[in-house]
Amino acid sequence: MPFGAIQLIATLGGAWLATRYKTKGGVVALLCLPAIAGCVMLLEIPRGDSHKGPLLAGYYIISVYPGITPMIYSWAAANTAGETKKKVINGILLVGQCAGNVVGPNLYTTEEAPLYRRGLLSNLAMFCVLVVLCALNMAYIFLLNKRQEKRRVAMGKPAKIIDLSMQAVGETEIDSKDDVVQRAEDNAFKDLTDFENEDFVYVY
């Protein structure tokens, strides 16, 4: 199977999982796991003709990582409001990605062939750190949503608001929650940041 096909499946599969289970951070962490396994395989399996199959499998497993990038951009966009703030956050992500694209290839040198331990260890560390950061960010988002609920209650609004951003196409809500949905849309077209908009719901 070509690498492009694996990357496409990982990207589309990640998008489907995020919509199905209403979590982007969880999917990012999940997509890191095959890449971690692939790095470990390439680090631990000896080089040689008798190990070509497992080595190739590890290399293919790592290739699911491109599915992480669009999910991170999507997660950042979903948890940021206000035009200026959105542009700044996207700019920071883009600069960080470009810096990684410059540094990354330099960690793989011909002097270290065929093991490339420095590059593989760096990749392994980055994927592990990303899993930890996803967990920490989701915990922080939980606290932010609780804070938003307290703000809404203090303003006489319902504590809970339905997050329409993670609804699948054609998915509808029950009638008893229509008033809550309407309240959530009150500030939809105001250029407020997520901290300023009490109706903003952070996406896990």
Per-residue pLDDT reduced to its tens digit, 6-17: 888 888 899 999
Structure pTM? 0.84
Closest CA to 197 of 165, 164, 166, 155: 155
Distance of alpha carbon 154 from alpha carbon 169, whole angstroms: 33
To 5 degrees, how large is the angle CA 10–CA 12–CA 16?
A: 110
Beta carbons of 66 and 172 less than 8 angstroms apart: no
Sequence spans of domains, the chain: 3-147, 157-189
Task: Please report which confidence band the pLDDT of residue 24 belongs to, taking 50, 70 and 90 as the band edges.
Answer: very high
10 Å Cβ neighbour count for 89? 16
Per-residue pLDDT reduced to its tens digit, 135-174: 999 999 999 999 999 998 998 888 887 766 666 555 555 4
pLDDT, residue 189, reads 62
- Burial of 18 by CB count in 10 Å (0-12 exposed, 13-18 middle, 19+ buried)? buried
